[in-house]
Chain A
Amino acid sequence: MQSRQKRSLTIPTVLLLGILFLISVPLLMKSTSLTLPSSLPQLNTIFLSILIEAIPFVLIGVLIAGFIQIFITEDHIRAWIPKNKFLAVVMSCVVGAAFPACECGIVPIVRRLIGKGVPLYAGVGFLLTGPLINPIVILSTYMAFGNDMEMALLRMGVGFVAALVIALIISILFKSNQLKKDKGISHSERKGNKKQPFVTRIREMLNHSIDEFFDMSKYLIAGAFVAAFLQTYVSTQSLLQLGNSQFQSAFVMMALAFVLSLCSEADAFIGASFKNVFPTTSILAFLVYGPMIDLKNMIMLLSVFKAKFVFVLFILITCIVFIFVNLSSLL
């Protein structure tokens, strides 16, 4: 009773604060825009362009997440996922490869799947191959490298094997689902939902999608802002001068992929532009690493999973991709 009282008191206060915020920010922007450095509108434009590019994919992602929440039960999941760990990982990677997603849209989906009882390792397999291997990415890679299938095949092959290995190592290292505590409570109330009419369930699904969107978008926005900030103020040229040997340049390209946070559908063209600067191995590293993890994506993952897990996953992806990409040059 007391807390209810408290809440009704705080709402007007917050309302006031919110209105103040909404009024003051534009005013502040307007009054200072005359003195702002010209780089700020540039930063803002890059920031918004990343968001405008990513938000449609996030919307698709949250709609699918909403669908999973309402229509897929834990029983379904139990029936679909093989008991055998290795088979489960293989299956998740194959499903991810067939599933056209981008790296920001897939995070809410994976979170919902794991919440529904999909084992962590299967979720990771899906998370890694979803954005990396899909028809649009293959097509753009094929085109960016002069209608040559070699790079597209290498990207898929190396990416798939790396994702398999990473997911398998995750299956050994982590036993629990690693979701953040407040988000990891399992659902057991689904049974009652089944009896509800279809229209109600569709509404439920959309309600979930809306809440999921607000949950996810703040991390996407933060990530996009950091990526835009780095693009505006940090010269990539200085980074490129570091890469002399094959190993160094592979690392440089991976760092670049991480920082730029490009959509996996557009990164092939950027990667291709380094053809004359760096060996194929380094470009492959760029193409495989970027869709698996980048700055924007990692901030979103941190919102879903425990920080320790995200950190281990980050290290694993970095090491495994580095090793496999360099091994591929021996082929």
Chain B
Amino acid sequence: MKFHFQHFLKALLLGMFTLFFANLHITGDITKYVNPKYDYMSKMAAIFFFVLLLIQVTRIWQEKHARHACSHKCNHDHGDSQWSLRRIVSYSIVAFPIVTGFMIPPATLDSSIAANKGFLLTQDSNEGRGGEERTSLLEGAKSLVEKENIDIYSSEHIPLPNENYLSEEEYDGKLQLLQKSESIHMTEDMFSTYYAEINDNPKSYIGKKIKMSGFVFKEEGLASNQLVISRFLITHCIADASIIGFLTEIKGADTIQEDTWVEIEGVIEVGNYNGSDLPLLKATSLNMVEEPSEPYIYPVLKLLGK
């Protein structure tokens, strides 16, 4: 029996990957990296890594001769060959994300990333990449409401075909509630939907009260009493984050630092920015708050069946 150091190293790394992925779910940090809707993928990864770890452990001690069925002709690295600088670099690269992953706690995206993504307000009519995406989903929803308008009130008596349909109705119900209600609370679950709707038809929401929280983001060209209360919208993972937010007016906005988390209450008005209408919040109160445990907004993918 011979101890294979490279196989040992691979087992060690696989073990660390297993721990890393398991740890993400145990601590709940996974939501800081990917949309929780897709967290089953990373759970699956943790299980795969564990299975591979079990296999790899058996390779650490092996008979000298029975290493591998194709050890001399195979076209990839079985870890039997000699050490070289190249190999050390390879293993270091594989170890790198695990090391930084355990050492550096996940950060919440901040205004510097938002500035790179840019064009929150400078875009033509529809600001915020996420805004549009929501809008488009919403368009479908609206037409569904129209089509099935009659059914909505009688739906209690009809057995529902499946859960998706129910969530569709719930979604539409919430949307109707938004259109009727006098004060709007931008909760995390409906944030993107409400945002898109208000953004799309700011005029029909003039005078309504609004309550929302987000981080402060400032773009060039804002007046001294203006700031943007923003959130990041995550479709799949943090790398595809887009920024959405409302232009807000409050006295002393220039004294509030970027990236401060605030909760505001205010009234919706329509403002003009770079020649296009957009909702403008006149804040009546502003409180500094702690960064929420779930700082990101995830789109409602009700049409996917979620």
Are A and B genuine complex partners? yes
Residues of chain A touching chain B, judged by Cβ–Cβ distance below 8 Å, are 3, 6-7, 10-11, 14-15, 17-18, 21-22, 25-26, 29-30, 33, 38-42, 44-53, 55-57, 59, 63, 115, 139, 143-148, 179, 182-185, 187-189, 192-193, 196, 203-204, 206-215, 217-218, 221-222, 224, 227-228, 231-237, 240, 260-263, 265-267, 269-270, 272-277
Given contacts A15-B5, A42-B107, A188-B73, contact A210 B239 (CB under 8 A): no
When C-beta atoms are compared, the residue in chain A nearest to B102 turns out to be A26
Q: How far is the CB of A44 from chain B (nearest CB, A)?
A: 5
Q: Do A52 and B24 touch (CB < 8 A)?
A: yes
Which residues from A are CB-within-8-Å of B17? Answer: 55
Q: Do A38 and B110 touch (CB < 8 A)?
A: yes
Q: Would you call B136 an interface residue if the criterion is a C-beta within 8 Å of the partner chain's C-beta atoms?
A: yes
Of A41, A188, A265, A275, which one neighbours B132 at CB under 8 angstroms?
A275
Which residues from B are CB-within-8-Å of A146? Answer: 135-137, 139-140
A184 to B126, CA, bound (A): 51
Contact with A along B136-178 (1 / 0, CB 8 A): 1101100000000000000000000000000000000000000
Known contacts A44-B106, A49-B33, A55-B17, then 5 further A-B pairs from the complex at CB < 8 Å, ordered by chain A residue: A52-B24, A52-B237, A115-B75, A187-B73, A210-B55
A178 to B91, CA, bound (A): 26
Q: Do A273 and B240 touch (CB < 8 A)?
A: no
Which residues from A are CB-within-8-Å of B124? Answer: 276-277
Q: Is the interface of A mostly helix, strand, loop or mixed?
A: helix
Please tell me which stretch of B82-90, B263-271, B281-289 contacts chain A, meaning at least 4 of its Cβ atoms lie within 8 angstroms of it: B82-90
Q: Do A189 and B129 touch (CB < 8 A)?
A: no
Q: Do A143 and B304 touch (CB < 8 A)?
A: yes
A53 to B128, CA, bound (A): 24
Which residues from A are CB-within-8-Å of B34? Answer: 49, 52-53
Q: How far is the CB of B134 from chain A (nearest CB, A)?
A: 10
Of B59, B97, B116, which one neighbours A235 at CB under 8 angstroms?
B116
Q: Would you call B212 an interface residue if the criterion is a C-beta within 8 Å of the partner chain's C-beta atoms?
A: no
Q: Do A29 and B103 touch (CB < 8 A)?
A: yes
Q: How far is the CB of A242 from chain B (nearest CB, A)?
A: 13
Which residues from A are CB-within-8-Å of B102? Answer: 26
Q: Do B56 and A215 touch (CB < 8 A)?
A: no
Given contacts A17-B88, A269-B133, contact A49 B103 (CB under 8 A): no
Which residues from B are CB-within-8-Å of A29? Answer: 99-100, 103-104
A180 to B70, CA, bound (A): 19
Which residues from B are CB-within-8-Å of A193? Answer: 69-70
Given contacts A45-B106, A185-B75, A277-B123, contact A56 B44 (CB under 8 A): yes
Given contacts A143-B303, A184-B75, A266-B235, contact A207 B92 (CB under 8 A): no
Q: How far is the CB of A228 from chain B (nearest CB, A)?
A: 7
Q: Would you call B242 an interface residue if the criterion is a C-beta within 8 Å of the partner chain's C-beta atoms?
A: yes
Q: Do A56 and B45 touch (CB < 8 A)?
A: yes
Q: Do A26 and B5 touch (CB < 8 A)?
A: no
A48 to B88, CA, bound (A): 22
Residues of chain B touching chain A, judged by Cβ–Cβ distance below 8 Å, are 5, 9-10, 13-14, 17, 21, 24, 30, 32-34, 38, 41-42, 44-45, 48-49, 51-52, 55-56, 59, 68-70, 73-79, 82-83, 88, 90-97, 99-110, 112-113, 115-119, 123-126, 128-133, 135-137, 139-140, 235-240, 242, 299, 301, 303-304
Q: Is the interface of B mostly helix, strand, loop or mixed?
A: helix
Q: Do B91 and A147 touch (CB < 8 A)?
A: no
When C-beta atoms are compared, the residue in chain B nearest to A270 turns out to be B240
Given contacts A42-B112, A50-B237, contact A26 B103 (CB under 8 A): yes
Which residues from B are CB-within-8-Å of A21? Answer: 92, 95
Which residues from A are CB-within-8-Å of B21? Answer: 52, 55
Of B93, B112, B136, which one neighbours A145 at CB under 8 angstroms?
B136
Q: Do B304 and A265 touch (CB < 8 A)?
A: no
Given contacts A212-B76, A272-B132, contact A218 B94 (CB under 8 A): yes
When C-beta atoms are compared, the residue in chain A nearest to B132 turns out to be A273
A234 to B115, CA, bound (A): 10
Which residues from B are CB-within-8-Å of A188? Answer: 73
Which residues from B are CB-within-8-Å of A236? Answer: 116-118
A32 to B128, CA, bound (A): 36
A48 to B29, CA, bound (A): 12
Given contacts A15-B5, A236-B117, contact A269 B238 (CB under 8 A): no
Q: How far is the CB of A221 from chain B (nearest CB, A)?
A: 5
Q: Do A270 and B242 touch (CB < 8 A)?
A: yes
Most chain A CB within 10 A, of B76, B132, B133, B303, is at: B76
A307 to B159, CA, bound (A): 61
Which residues from B are CB-within-8-Å of A267? Answer: 240
Of B70, B108, B301, which one neighbours A187 at CB under 8 angstroms?
B70
